Chain A
Amino acid sequence: MFMEQLTVFIENREGRLEKVTEILAQNNINIVCLSLADTSEYGMLRMIVSNPEKAKQSLKEAGFSARLTDVLAVKLKQDFGTLNKLAKSVSDKNINIEYMYTLNCSKDDGAIIIKCSDITLGYEAVTEAGLSLVDPQTIYSI
């Protein structure tokens, strides 16, 4: 039901992102979408990939710190106010959105990844807003 997100710790040094993408490419893993949070000394690369477990293992073997986290992938129609509806529903549950990024932004349908401070309440907020989750299997098979 929940989407597995792969997070990798990378130092702010030349060639580190290249190394991560090289390992994923060698293992035939597709990056569906990503978000890079940068700080002054390191970056947190968050990705939705085609095979999260294999991606994590191959990065670990290459010496990277990588972990999998459950996040919510929410379908959002390309229409006014859909994100507002979701944000309001989450706010009504008194929980925070820790971070979010776009999963898909085609003309007909969009989808976003959100990490809530409480995933169960986050899921309730999604359903109460009349929204639904993206099936992880459809994303892993892209």
Chain B
Amino acid sequence: MLIIRFVNLFPSHVENALLEINGTTPHYLMVVDRVNNLDTLEVQVEVEESFFSDEVKEMEKLTKKIAAALQSALLISAKVKLVEPKSLERFEGKSTHVIDNRKFDD
């Protein structure tokens, strides 16, 4: 679990939101950062063949759909970034889906 802007987030919420859109869970990564004292969340989603289109407008529609599904599942807004298949790092054993770049020591 991680806390962003006072909201508790679980990677499983992201998984469920992605599952609702396409019926499968593509590989994803949550990247948390802090910009101007505000927590930001970017969700990187690998573009699988099943939801890849040859039209940019369809891909933009998909990005918006994922962003809307994440907003309603997580209750905070997230930036969605589509990335190439197999471009996100795979971890042995229990997979890690979060990179937290925030610094808490100041």
Contact = CB atoms under 8 A, between A and B. Distances in A.
Interface in A58-75: 60, 63-67, 69
A120 interface: no
Contacts of A64: 84-85
Interface stretch (B17-25, B32-40, B44-52, B91-99): B44-52
Interface stretch (A39-47, A84-92, A104-112): A39-47
Main secondary structure of the interface of B (DSSP, over half): loop
Interface in A1-41: 5, 7, 9-11, 16, 37, 39, 41
B82 A99 contact: no
Given A65-B47, A65-B52, A9 B84 contact: yes
Contacts of B55: 44, 98-99, 115
16 contacts: A7-B54, A9-B52, A9-B84, A11-B83, A11-B84, A41-B81, A42-B83, A44-B55, A44-B59, A60-B49, A63-B87, A64-B84, A65-B48, A65-B49, A67-B53, A67-B54
Interface residues of B, number: 18
Main secondary structure of the interface of A (DSSP, over half): strand
Interface string B41-75: 00000011100111111011000000000000000
Contacts of B82: 9, 41-42
Contacts of A67: 49, 52-54
B5 interface: no
B54 A115 contact: yes
A37 B82 CA distance: 15
Contacts of B84: 9-11, 16, 63-65
Interface of B: 47-49, 52-57, 59-60, 81-87
B85 A5 contact: no
Nearest to B52: A65
B87 A5 contact: no
